[in-house]
Amino acid sequence: MKKSFSNLMLVCAFVLASAIIVAAAEQAAVLKDPDRVLARVEGQEIRERDIDQVIQMAGPQGAMYDNEQGRKAILDELVAARLFALSGVKQGLDKTPAVTEAIANFTGQVVARAAIEKIMQDIVVPDDEAKKFYDGNPDQFATPEEIRVRHILVSDDVTSADTIRQVQAALSGGTSFDRVAQERSICPSAPQGGDLGFFSRGQMVPEFEAVAFTLKNPGDVSDPVQTSFGWHIIRLEERRPESTLAYDDVKPQIIQYLASDRRMQRYQETLEALKKEYKTEILLPASGEAAVSPDKQ
């Protein structure tokens, strides 16, 4: 089955978040001196890169702290953490089973992330491969036909026939469509003269869409069409034909997609090799299966 361009991008971004974090940290390092010492606690230095790491590890939410006030707040928290850590060591808390286990788990996670980053570091996508993907997948970069319309929405009740006649009379008498929409339409788009902006097929209710796309030229006005919202009179404003995104406009996204695809493949291949190299036992049953007692095996 053909893989979805957008879905695979999301999956790869999730699985390989560590690689993204490293790239973002490198970009931040260009703007700031990562080795600049910001504070000392009993001789232990807190540097600019420590602040950067906290911001990057926070993901999208970290951006709100990447300012003078936010970075100062993070520094205060890091100082506090160092002080409490020194207090904990003085009390011997670092030797308790819970803490030693947590330290071991954290160390394992850090080393695992470093190992993943190492197997990814040589992955590159040449320009010619990106162009080959673009040429071979034209459907991925096609933009559908779009139209922009205005409409006047009239409620579907006992007065609708009279209201429609009044609207049509005003339009025939020379009153502009957007003015009539502002005065008579019950749609939230009325203040904008009934302007619904651009949309493609499948974005509007079928009855509305079927009529809207039959309008040929800007300025064409439809007969009243009924939907679950009421009665609509539609005017075509603009039409955009189906087109294809230019290669130069999508090249960065293609390279990112192909690189993510390769990272995912490299990750899975390495993982399978490691499972063969190191004895691995999964003791929990698969979803929906009952666990088997050892004395019943």
pLDDT band at 48 (very low <50, low <70, confident <90, very high): very high
d(CA 254, CA 264): 15
What is the DSSP code string of 91-156? TTGGGSHHHHHHHHHHHHHHHHHHHHHHHHTT----HHHHHHHHHH-GGGGEE--EEEEEEEEE--
With H, G, I as helix, E, B as strand and everything else as coil, classify residue 232. strand
Q: What percent of the chain has pLDDT over 70?
A: 85
Mark whether 184 and 98 lie in a shared domain.
no
Which pLDDT does position 3 carry in this prediction?
Answer: 42
What average pLDDT does the segment 151-170 reach?
94
With H, G, I as helix, E, B as strand and everything else as coil, classify residue 235. strand
CA distance from start to end of the chain: 39
Which pLDDT does position 284 carry in this prediction?
Answer: 78
CA dist list (Å): 54 to 58, 71, 99: 6, 10, 21
Chain-wide mean pLDDT for the chain?
87
pLDDT at 41 over 80: yes
Mark whether 181 and 229 lie in a shared domain.
yes
- Beta-bridged to residue 198, according to DSSP, are 148
Q: Could you tell me the residue range of the domain that residue 43 belongs to? A: 5-120
pLDDT at 294 over 60: no
Asked, for residue 131, whether it belongs to a domain, the answer is: no
Alpha helices in the chain (DSSP H): 5-15, 17-31, 48-57, 68-90, 97-120, 127-136, 160-172, 177-184, 206-212, 247-277
Mark whether 192 and 230 lie in a shared domain.
yes
Asked, for residue 53, whether it belongs to a domain, the answer is: yes
Q: What is the pLDDT of residues 70-84, one digit of tens each?
A: 999 999 999 999 999
Asked, for residue 12, whether it belongs to a domain, the answer is: yes
Asked, for residue 259, whether it belongs to a domain, the answer is: no
Q: 282 vs 245, which has greater pLDDT?
A: 245
Asked, for residue 135, whether it belongs to a domain, the answer is: no
- Which residue is it, tokens 């850090």? 110
Asked, for residue 130, whether it belongs to a domain, the answer is: no
What is the tally of structural domains in the chain? Answer: 2
pLDDT at 188 over 50: yes
- Which residue is it, tokens 């404003």? 237
With H, G, I as helix, E, B as strand and everything else as coil, classify residue 65. helix
Token representation of residue 98: 């819970």
pTM summary value: 0.54
Which pLDDT does position 59 carry in this prediction?
Answer: 85
Contacts 24+ apart (CB under 8 A), 28-32: 28/52, 28/55, 28/56
Asked, for residue 41, whether it belongs to a domain, the answer is: yes
d(CA 81, CA 46): 11
- Which residue is it, tokens 């009665």? 231
pLDDT at 7 over 90: no
Q: Are 234 and 222 in contact (CB under 8 A)?
A: yes
d(CA 219, CA 282): 67
Return the exposure string of 139-157: e unless at least 16 CB atoms fall within 10 Å of the residue's CB, then b.
Answer: ebbeeeebbbbbbbbbeee
What CATH number does residue 161 fall under?
Answer: 3.10.50.40
Mark whether 161 and 90 lie in a shared domain.
no
What average pLDDT does the segment 258-266 reach?
96
**Domain edge (last residue) among 193, 215, 241:** 241
Chain mean position to CA 88: 41
pLDDT band at 23 (very low <50, low <70, confident <90, very high): very low
pLDDT at 123 over 50: yes
Which pLDDT does position 107 carry in this prediction?
Answer: 94
pLDDT band at 28 (very low <50, low <70, confident <90, very high): very low
With H, G, I as helix, E, B as strand and everything else as coil, classify residue 45. strand
Asked, for residue 183, whether it belongs to a domain, the answer is: yes
What average pLDDT does the segment 263-268 reach?
96
Mark whether 83 and 168 lie in a shared domain.
no
Q: What is the pLDDT of residues 198-225, one digit of tens each?
A: 999 999 999 999 999 999 999 999 999 9
d(CA 215, CA 239): 10
What average pLDDT does the segment 228-256 reach?
95
pLDDT at 286 over 90: no
pLDDT at 11 over 50: no
